[in-house]
Amino acid sequence: MDQRTPVRRTARAAALVLLVLTTSTGCTGGVEGTPGASGLRDPYFPKLGNGGYDVQHYDLALDVDPAAHRLRGTATITARATQDLSAFDLDLVGLTVDSVTVEGRPAAVHRAGQELTLRPDAEVAGRLHKGGTFRTVVRYSGSPRTLTDPDGSKEGWLRTADGSVALGEPTGSMAWFPGNNHPSDKASYDIAVTVPEGLTAVSNGELASRRTSGGATTFHWHVPEPMASYLVTVAIGRFDMKESTTPDGIKVFTAADTTVAADSARVLARVPEVVKWEAERFGPYPFSATGAIVERSGDAGYALETQDRPFFPGPPGTGLLVHEMAHQWFGDSVTPESWRDMWLNEGFATYAEWLWEADKEGRPVQDRFDAAFKNEANWAFPPADPPTAADISQAPVYGRGAMVIHRIRQAVDDDRRFFALVRGWTKAHRHGNASTADFTAYVEKATGQDLTKLWDTWLYGRSRPASED
């Protein structure tokens, strides 16, 4: 980040839904037995995510009317139980829940804030055993909200000049679909978005189909690789779209708002070049598709590394494109275990900018390091320990995070070995999650060095050292 078709129901079914939606009582929704936890105790967002299950796949069907700012959605969630489950939670804020089934049978629903607690009937609950797979279908509707982050930035469902865009870091995805909204639970996705004819709906992954009927067009996007919920996006509007395929078989899809398409064309044409350059340094590109989404300036306040198709609020510069594309390795494929590990995303992506400038513009990486070292903002707090949720996207996470990477490179003192180390890291955790502790242990094992002083000074130190040495 940088600052950052509805289904008809019979009257009997509708009455049953009304019953289960209105008879759940108490602060736990009447849940007893072995319910999954209502949060994962993330250091900054303790109520985000849910325990007791691991989502395998989301199938989202959205019918969106941008002019009326209304959405109807059906979320079909396939998950594996990680414990015996009598009940479990999903994260969803604002929207109205119209019905819920678990394994095809209506489930009782209780809502408290962002927590949507589902209690399957006794017959289904008796089959939700640890290791088993189950399917939940949530039908919902309403006007999706724009949320305000602790740092004041806007996310969730943002209205644009000619449509809308969904941005999810760190909490915003729960504003438009129910799920296990924490980076530690990644899943594959199918996202079908129906919009008025003449508009386009762009999302992550590959465009599987496009179908127009009755004055509306449905765009179906397929994401085969695991994706964290905060990286899911939908952009609706009028776009100049271009499709191609790289020599390596990666599908390239770019979409630029028609008012900024001409100004974006030169940089967007460099997407394949940037992907190839970064793959040589960071390892094979981790997804089957790539590209970018460019909205009008002012439609959002920041760019975001939405998976395989980064989002930009206006035509990006090459450096910003390099940064967001680097996130495809660092953040999107290797995803942080918790929001405390954000520096692993931003430190590497910032360092990618330094490397690009060195290779393409002749500015030594050490010059960028020296400037970052002198910048007081980078020493406000340790990058691996931001003091509050409002700080996880602040300067030390970026600039000092990049300094940590450069200090590792200096400790290795061999570029061939350093880049082998980086490629080994992205291979070891490809499509998974990793923490700061995972990273420091990996580096020490790969280098055979005790780097305690480096971590204490650059990663966890609370004051700037007297010198760069």
Q: Is the pLDDT of residue 21 over 70?
A: no
Report the C-alpha gap between 463 and 86 in whole angstroms: 49
**Residue 468 banded pLDDT, cuts 50, 70, 90:** confident
Report the C-alpha gap between 184 and 339 in whole angstroms: 10
**Residue 9 banded pLDDT, cuts 50, 70, 90:** very low
Q: Is the pLDDT of residue 28 over 50?
A: no
Q: Is the pLDDT of residue 302 over 80?
A: yes
Report the C-alpha gap between 270 and 315 in whole angstroms: 13
Q: Which helix (H) or strand (E) holds 9?
A: none
24-36: average pLDDT: 58
The amino acid at 353: E
Question: pLDDT tens digit string along 224-262?
Answer: 999 999 999 999 999 999 999 999 999 999 999 999 999
pLDDT at 17: 39
**Residue 192 banded pLDDT, cuts 50, 70, 90:** very high
Question: pLDDT tens digit string along 422-456?
Answer: 999 999 999 999 999 999 999 999 999 999 999 99
Burial class (CB in 10 A: 0-12, 13-18, 19+), 405: buried
Largest Cα separation within the chain, whole Å, is 74
What is this structure's pTM?
Answer: 0.92
pLDDT at 199: 98
Q: Is the pLDDT of residue 14 over 50?
A: no
The encoded tokens of residue 315 equal 């035509």
Residues in the chain: 469
The amino acid at 19: L
pLDDT at 12: 36
H-only helix segments in 283-400: 318-326, 342-361, 365-374, 395
**Residue 404 banded pLDDT, cuts 50, 70, 90:** very high
Phi and psi at residue 43, to the nearest 5°: -55, -30
The amino acid at 84: D
**Residue 18 banded pLDDT, cuts 50, 70, 90:** very low
Neighbours of 5 (CB within 10 A): 11
pLDDT at 135: 98
pLDDT at 32: 61
pLDDT at 11: 34
Cis peptide before 315 (omega within 30 of 0): no
pLDDT at 33: 78
**Strand partners of residue 142:** 71
Please give the share of the chain, as a percent, with pLDDT higher than 70: 93
3-state secondary structure of 71: strand
3-27: average pLDDT: 37
Report the C-alpha gap between 445 and 456 in whole angstroms: 17
User: How many CA within 13 A on the CB side of residue 242?
Assistant: 21
pLDDT at 34: 92
349 contacts 332 by C-beta, under 8 angstroms:
no
**Strand partners of residue 101:** 106, 137
pLDDT at 142: 98
Q: Is the pLDDT of residue 16 over 80?
A: no
Q: Is the pLDDT of residue 68 over 50?
A: yes
Concatenated DSSP letters for 163-176?
SEEEE-TTTGGGGT
Q: In sequence order, which residues have a C-beta less than 8 Å from that of residue 303 and are 6 or more positions away? A: 1, 2, 310, 311, 312, 313, 316, 320, 323, 324
379-392: average pLDDT: 97
pLDDT at 3: 54
Q: Is 101 left (phi over 0), alpha (psi -120 to 50) or beta?
A: beta
313 contacts 297 by C-beta, under 8 angstroms:
yes
Question: pLDDT tens digit string along 81-123?
Answer: 999 999 999 999 999 999 999 999 999 999 999 999 999 999 9
Q: What sign has the CA pseudo-torsion 11, 13, 14, 20? A: positive
176-202: average pLDDT: 98
Q: Is the pLDDT of residue 20 over 60?
A: no
pLDDT at 146: 97
391-399: average pLDDT: 97
Q: What is the mean pLDDT of the chain?
A: 93
pLDDT at 1: 65
